[in-house]
Structure 1
Amino acid sequence: MEVERVQYIASNLSKGSETIPSEYIRSEKEQPAITTLHGVMLEVPVIDMRSDGDEENLVRLISEASTEWGIFQVVNHGIPTDVISKLQDVGKQFFELPQEEKEVIAKPAGGSKSIEGYGTTLQKDAEGKKGWVDHLFHILWPPSSVNYRFWPENPPSYREANEEYCSRLRGVSDRLFKYLSLGLGLEENAFKESVGGEELIYLMKINYYPPCPRPDVVLGVPPHTDASSLTILVPNEIQGLQVFKDDYWYDVKYIPNALIVHIGDQIEIVSNGKYKSVLHRTTVNKEKTRMSWPVFLEPPPEKEIGPNRKLVDEEDNGAKYKTKKYKDYIYCKLNKLPQ
């Protein structure tokens, strides 16, 4: 095994030991025990997607949540509970496979630009720290972009469960794009077309956060905003998502069977800053494994994205973001270059 997986590290810790590799221990300015506002569970907006004939109110609620929070949860979204359960079951089964079986679909070594495959955080952050997480990336949609080389063959039902979930999720995302557009007075297809239309890429990521003896000093994923247009995710039952709001980090209260929606950087750009990309991070649990299934709705690499001209007010500093290809935006973000 060329890369030491976090799951392997966690399973080989001595029983009762609280000693973990130093590269996972955060500085005090990032440690959850110090930086979390404890005892307060943040209740982000929960939106019922059954319009009951009042679509105007649904548009208003989603627009307000995207403006003030950058994150919200949707219920009655139309994806059956059993479809989500099957997605979670096959993902859990994959990570419970023997290590050598998971390594069969590991990310290619040696400079590959693709992020697809099984892996661990390979790049340390600015402080040289790593996240307490393993993951699996693969594209769900469109079919022309799917590479089944990175889809687990075991469990056998993995493909069926993921394709069924994606089929349902595409309907939900179309509605979200529509409501986001209408919320700013645009044509209903404005946002979706701005970030790729039917060429929009659905990128699945499964996060696997093993139990950690020192959850007070590590992070699963460090603070970040998503480069995507939207991110739509489901977690398992273990708390871990945190959002930065009003100068504090808060645990986010998860509603069972809800989808958590993150506004990503590209929606903030297209909206000219009216909708906000949410700053978030993840924590881990001392005794239980946390998992999450985010799907990133990403523009095609060559897609040029900038503020919608109807949302640019020349009297209010004009366009707040430069128009650039998505691949160039990603390059700048990964290398911490000015946008």
Structure 2
Amino acid sequence: MEKVQSNVAGLCELPAEFIRPEAEQPRFTTFEGADAEVPVVDFGGEWETVVKAVCEASSKWGLFQIVNHSISGEVIDNLQRVGRLFFELPNEEKTAYARDPESKSLDGYGSRLRNGWVDHLFNKIWPPNAVDYRFWPKTPPDYREVTEEYGKNLQEVVEKLLGCLSLGLGLGVEELKTAVGGEELVYNLKINYYPPCPRPDLVLGVPAHTDLSALTILVPNQVQGLQVFRDQHWYNVSYIPNALIIHIGDQIEILSNGKYKAVLHRSVVNKEITRISWPVFMEPPPHLEVGPHPKLLNQQSQPKYKTKKFSDYAYCKLNNIPQ
């Protein structure tokens, strides 16, 4: 499929493959009243209060925003700057980092999302043995420095989130981190680039899904686009400046045996303005087996999910094979 961005210039009609079925089109499915009142967690508050807020939001929503976290506005601004500059490069420069179609890895530039109005760049940014610098842009020249700095800053946030979620399950503060891979937990950065679309009422940036990750931490630009499914409607999510948006992914839902909920979400696009987002998917290493945590299971609480290698789970999810 041709890249979405290169199709935009001079586009008079919307290519048919991008038009979603009526049951998915934003014009029929977006709630037109108030935006979703997504929970906001003050990450700088008292520890017990933070734990309670994170666990409650993860159980009821699977989605929340955190403020007063440890990542500076400058670090986030730089991440947004280098990502934007990469996508503003000529197409031939971007395609130098194209994903290898023969590889199982998603690393690189391209579009694998069926009929989504989006181009993207995948780069694993942690741990060091998972990083493949062949797919890291050399332009802008500080892309690597800025992206690695953001990855280092994320570690404290991830540690704290997993600690909260672990305590909320009645486990030790480190047990959930260990269950998702410990120091081998993979940080998979994806930059989503959604160019202006002539008919945003008919298309989706990314169709409805839950993330196959354990957690997803997302930075948006200030263009509205994230929607969450609640009470049989799709609601817009309003952004708070400098907040991080947290998604509970499939692996945390599985490990919690269903106490925490992976959030069903999608993205919509804009007629006039480019939207960009920077999710980082926190994924178990491929070889790790993930299932309901043994300490949560007993005669009254049977496993609701299978235990399987993360690589097998991901293969089924990406190929629409039942788990």
What band does the TM-score fall into relative to the shorter chain? over 0.9
Give the one of 65, 75, 79 matched to 1:87: 79
2:162 corresponds in structure 1 to 177
Cα distance in 2 for partners of 1:335, 1:272 equals 24
Q: CA deviation at 1:108?
A: 1.2
Picking from 303, 308, 312, the partner of 1:328 is 312
Confirm or deny that 1:281 pairs with 2:273: no
SS of the residue corresponding to residue 333 of structure 1 reads: helix
Alignment match, 1:12: 10
Structure 1 residue matching 2:157: 3-state secondary structure = helix
Question: What TM-score do the two structures reach when normalised by structure 2?
Answer: 0.98
Question: Residue 185 of structure 2 aligns with which residue?
Answer: 200
Query: Secondary structure in 2 aligned to 1:287?
Result: coil
Range that drifts further, 306-315 or 86-95 = 306-315
Matched with 1:61 is 53
**In the aligned structure 2, how far is the partner of 1:204 from the partner of 1:335?**
21
Match of 2:125 among 120, 140, 143: 140
Matched, 1:107 2:99: yes
1:309 to partner: Cα distance:
1.5
| Structure 1 residue 190, shift from structure 2 partner | 1.1
What CA deviation, in whole Å up to 9, does each residue of 1:163-203 have, x standing for no partner? 11111011100000001111121100111110100000000
Q: 2:32 aligns with which of 18, 25, 38?
A: 38
CA distance in 1, matches of 2:157, 2:219: 13
> Residue 294 of structure 1 is aligned with which of 257, 275, 279?
279
Aligned to 2:41: 47
What's the offset of the Cα at 1:336? 2.1
CA distance in 2, matches of 1:307, 1:259: 27
Residues 145-184 of structure 1 aligned to structure 2 (within 5 Å): 145-184=130-169
Task: Letter of the 1:307 partner, please give it.
Answer: P
Residue 223 of structure 1 and its aligned partner are, at CA, apart by 0.3
Measured in 1, the distance between the counterparts of 2:155 and 2:129 equals 16
Mapped pair 1:118 → 2:102: no
What amino acid sits opposite 1:101 in the alignment? Answer: E
CA distance in 2, matches of 1:10, 1:36: 24
Q: Which runs of 5+ in 1 are unaligned?
A: 125-129
Partner of 2:254: 269
| Deviation of 1:39 (Å) | 2.4
Q: Structure 2 CA distance, aligned partners of 1:39 and 1:286?
A: 20
Q: Helix, strand or coil for the counterpart of 1:314?
A: coil
Q: Equivalent residue of 1:332, what SS?
A: helix
SS at match of 1:40: coil
Residue in structure 2 matching 1:190, options 160, 163, 175: 175
Where structure 2 has 5 or more consecutive residues not aligned to the other structure, the ranges are: none
User: Partner of 1:38: helix, strand, or coil?
Assistant: coil
Q: Percent of pairs identical after alignment?
A: 60
Task: Letter of the 1:95 partner, please give it.
Answer: F
Q: How many residues align?
A: 323
RMSD: 0.9
**Cα offsets for 1:63-116 (capped at 9, x unmatched):** 00000000000001110001000000000000000111001001113x321110
One-letter amino acid of the counterpart of residue 320, structure 1: K
CA distance in 2, matches of 1:336, 1:151: 29
Report the 3-state secondary structure (helix = DSSP H, G, I; strand = E; otherwise coil) of the residue aligned with 1:140: strand
Whole-Å separation in 2 of the counterparts to 1:245 and 1:273: 17
Aligned match of 1:127? none
State how far apart, in whole Å, the 2-side matches of 1:280 and 1:319 are: 25
Asked if 1:225 is matched to 2:210, the reply is yes
